Amino acid sequence: MKIAVLKGDGIGPEIVEAAQVVLNKVDEKFNLGIEYAEALFGGAAYDVYGNPYPEESQKIVEQCDAILLGAVGAPKYDTIEPADLRPEKGLLAIRKSLGLYCNIRPIKYYDFLADRVIWKKGLLDGLDIVICRELTGGAYFGKRGHDENSAYDTISYSRPEIERIVRDAFEMAKNRDRKILHSIDKANVLDSSRLWRKVVNEIAVEYPEVELHHLYVDNAAMQLIVNPTQFDVIVTENMFGDILSDESAALGGSLGMLPSASLGGKISLFEPSHGSAPDIAGKNIANPIATILSAAMLLRFSAKNEAAARAIEDAVNAVLADNIKTPDLADETSKVVGTMEMAQEIAARI
């Protein structure tokens, strides 16, 4: 398979190159026939083309089977005008152009990161959540405008947009052990949420084996803190999903542990859930695990190779169980390694 490599900005190049070390080892073991095609994206593309997702990069992406993305953004791009040319807008553009409406973020609790979470030991045991976030609708893609004294962003959803992400979430819940789905909205205030809840209830009839719960987004945010193990699969709209999935990062101990997949089109995109962290770029201390686990999701969803995906996940678990960690995860007993060293330790266990 051919993978478009969009390294992006900040620590993006380092963590993507680390993930490629692991992918190359998996390719060697499983004979996957992986090829790479690099393209500029985000601030790196703006510096060359004046656009975070230029035509030159689009052409490369469209000739590939999947995308591995690092991260985008840096303070120097925050004042670019018009704002549509800022690196983060490249993310919206690539999602929209490829029809990537379903963002999947798995969040797991690891015993060896117990000292990195604020919960008492035992309260997160068994935590295994998947957040399904709608990715191409809502306020981020609705009508917007501003002048000197006012601004507006419109949350807009159609029935088909809601149906496709909700059905995906029900399917996912149906195929998991607990078979629980929480749908998150603000139906007591927003018309878009009332339609969301109506559609969820209609589809729920087709999935009698799935236990469905509705939560308002403010309550959901609280419940993720006070009783997170009640959750199995969560489905929600774009902005709510953005906020809740970042909040949920605290459950895993580090944003550096959280992969993501954006699905729905012919070509899927895989990236870590964290940002570009320009303050640590080039220091060989960035945690590449989220990107490496995103590469595992690439093998699962795009290559349809579950064995290869699990080989990566098992290798990550083995390294961490051996107390080999990057600085963001380490304690005084850990063997502390850099970005590329972590990748090499994981690759050695494939």
Written as one letter, the residue type at 159 is: R
Looking at the DSSP bridge assignments, the partners of residue 104 are 132, 261
Angle in degrees, CA 228, 19, 301, rounded to 5: 60
Q: Estimate to the nearest angstrom the gap between the alpha carbon of 6 and the chain centroid.
A: 15
| CATH topology (fold) of 118-252 | Isopropylmalate Dehydrogenase (3.40.718)
36, 105, 166, 223, 294 from 247: Cα distances, Å: 33, 12, 21, 11, 19
Please give the structure tokens belonging to residue 95: 């999602």
Please give the structure tokens belonging to residue 337: 């390694």
**Comma-separated ranges of CATH 3.40.718.10 domains in the chain:** 1-100+259-350, 118-252
pLDDT score recorded for residue 117: 83
pLDDT at 4 over 90: yes
pLDDT score recorded for residue 246: 87
pLDDT score recorded for residue 256: 85
Looking at the DSSP bridge assignments, the partners of residue 185 are 216
Q: What is the pLDDT of residues 299-333, one digit of tens each?
A: 999 999 999 999 999 999 999 999 999 999 888 99
| CATH topology (fold) of 1-100+259-350 | Isopropylmalate Dehydrogenase (3.40.718)
Paired sense of beta strands 35-38 and 151-153, if any: unpaired
Do the beta carbons of residue 19 and residue 288 sit within 8 Å? yes
- Cα Rg of the chain (Å, integer): 20
Mean pLDDT, to the nearest integer, of 28-57?
A: 97
Flag whether the pTM goes above 0.85: yes
Which residue is catalytic, options 218, 279, 322, 331?
218
Active-site annotation holds for 186: yes
pLDDT score recorded for residue 119: 87
Q: Estimate to the nearest angstrom the gap between the alpha carbon of 93 and the chain centroid.
A: 16
Which residue is catalytic, options 108, 186, 232, 325?
186
Which residue is catalytic, options 128, 153, 246, 314?
246
Q: What is the pLDDT of residues 244-256, one digit of tens each?
A: 998 988 888 777 8
Confidence of residue 349 (pLDDT cuts 50, 70, 90): very high
Do the beta carbons of residue 304 and residue 95 sit within 8 Å? no
pLDDT score recorded for residue 235: 98
109 secondary structure, DSSP code? -
Mean pLDDT, to the nearest integer, of 195-218?
A: 98
pLDDT at 177 over 80: yes
Mean pLDDT, to the nearest integer, of 127-142?
A: 94
Which residue is catalytic, options 140, 168, 185, 232?
140
Mean pLDDT, to the nearest integer, of 160-175?
A: 98
pLDDT score recorded for residue 188: 98
Mean pLDDT, to the nearest integer, of 207-234?
A: 97
Give the residue from 180, 183, 188 showing the smallest Cα distance to 166: 183
Give the residue from 255, 259, 284, 282 showing the smallest Cα distance to 270: 259
Active-site annotation holds for 27: no
Active-site annotation holds for 84: no
Helices (H), the chain: 12-30, 43-49, 55-62, 87-98, 159-174, 191-204, 217-226, 238-252, 289-301, 306-321, 339-348
Active-site annotation holds for 246: yes
Please give the structure tokens belonging to residue 217: 């987004």
Cα separation, 88 vs 279, whole angstroms: 18
Cα separation, 66 vs 3, whole angstroms: 5
pLDDT at 113 over 80: no
* Per-chain mean pLDDT for the chain: 95
Please give the structure tokens belonging to residue 212: 């469905």
Active-site annotation holds for 140: yes
120 secondary structure, DSSP code? P
Query: Which of 115-119, 129-133, 346-350 is the least confident region?
Result: 115-119
Confidence of residue 7 (pLDDT cuts 50, 70, 90): very high
Mean pLDDT, to the nearest integer, of 69-94?
A: 93
Mean pLDDT, to the nearest integer, of 142-156?
A: 94
pLDDT score recorded for residue 118: 84
Q: What is the pLDDT of residues 91-107, one digit of tens each?
A: 989 999 999 999 999 99
Question: What DSSP letter does each residue of 228-282 carry, written as one string?
Answer: GGG-SEEEE-HHHHHHHHHHHHHHHT-GGG-EEEEESSSSEEEEESS---GGGTT
pLDDT at 120 over 90: no
